[in-house]
Amino acid sequence: MNGSTLLAIAGMSLATFACRYGGYWLFSHIRPTPALRTVLGYIPGALFVSYVAPALFAGGPMQWIGGAATVVLMLVVRDLSLAVLGGTAIAWVWWSYV
């Protein structure tokens, strides 16, 4: 690993820490209104969709099967982590054996 790679990793680590710490610092100094709390509650879902949708629309059968399996699993188990894990496993099995 060369110096540029280590510098890039250190920079990304610092940026990640600054973003996380900045959020904690900000909310320790302000008291968000109930409306702002409601809006902020939708951000994780919106970010997840913004990451998944482009890959799904650009993908083929493996991505569509994995996405559909994830949705079905989410409806059944009601646990996002398990649904994503299961959908990924199903897509992997499809890719491996078909």
State pLDDT tens for residues 62-96: 899 999 999 999 999 999 899 999 999 999 998 89
The pair of structure tokens assigned to 7 is: 């510098």
Residue 55: its pLDDT value, please? 87
12 vs 55, residue with greater confidence = 12
Q: How high is the mean pLDDT of the chain? A: 91
pTM: 0.58
Q: Domains of the chain: which residue ranges?
A: 1-30, 34-98
- % of the chain with per-residue pLDDT over 90: 56
